[in-house]
Amino acid sequence: MNMVLSRVSEEQIGFVPPGLQVDVEELDEHNWKVLHAFDYQAQVDRYTVHRGQKTDFASVPRIFAWFIPTYGKYTKAAILHDHLCELAHAGAFERRDADAIFRQAMRTLGVPFLRRWIMWAAVRWGAVATKNGLRGWWRDAPRVLLITIPFGALLAPAAILVLATLIVWEVVEVVAWVPLKLMTATKRVNPPNPTWKT
């Protein structure tokens, strides 16, 4: 016996409650937790992001944070994506589906077309390094490459400049910290903390 799942109408797809608002609490410099649960109604299934869900919002390398910040209009979709990726890691969900729902959720939040497709391509590349992330990846490869090649070429010069600046900054910070640490016996001087993630 085959069970037919019914699809919801286009107007029913989206977050419950609707809108961009989400309540979070900072855990550390990179991670947050959700304070109030919210749902997302996809085409077929409904997903609940529970209170306490850990998130780093959009996982953006520092060299691209000028172009796509860690949070924005897509924050709620990024938190949903973190939840779905946890399910995929546990084997209860396909990573390919998590990435597709992320793109769909961004559309419901009003994220512009090119930005959401670039972010989708980025998470598809990110899937390569995860457990079961390659499953179905090659089916998306033509679209991922169609997005990556032109936009990678467009963003590469700025990203290289940002990378060079970050490297110089890290060196300057260490050079400045060493004498301060040696000269200051009573005051606490925080050491540099280089990170390539926002």
C-alpha of 136 from chain center:
20
What pLDDT is attached to residue 132?
A: 84
User: Residue 80: pLDDT above 60?
Assistant: yes
Does residue 39 have a pLDDT over 70? yes
pLDDT confidence bin for 25, thresholds 50/70/90 = very high
Residue 95 located in a structural domain: yes
Is 35 among the domain residues?
Answer: yes
Segment 15-19 shows an average pLDDT of: 90
Rg (CA), the chain: 20
First-to-last alpha carbon distance for the chain, in angstroms, is 49
| 97-142 confidence digits (pLDDT tens) | 999 999 999 999 999 999 999 999 999 999 999 888 899 999 999 9
Q: 159 burial class (0-12, 13-18, 19+ CB within 10 angstroms)?
A: middle
Q: Give the residue-averaged pLDDT of 51-76.
A: 95
Does residue 169 fall inside a structural domain? Answer: no
Give this prediction's pTM.
0.87
Its domain, for residue 51, covers 10-148
Tokens at residue 165, please?
A: 């600046």
* Cβ contacts of 85 within 8 Å, gap of 6 or more: 95, 98, 130
Identify whether 26 is part of a domain: yes
User: How many structural domains is the chain composed of?
Assistant: 1
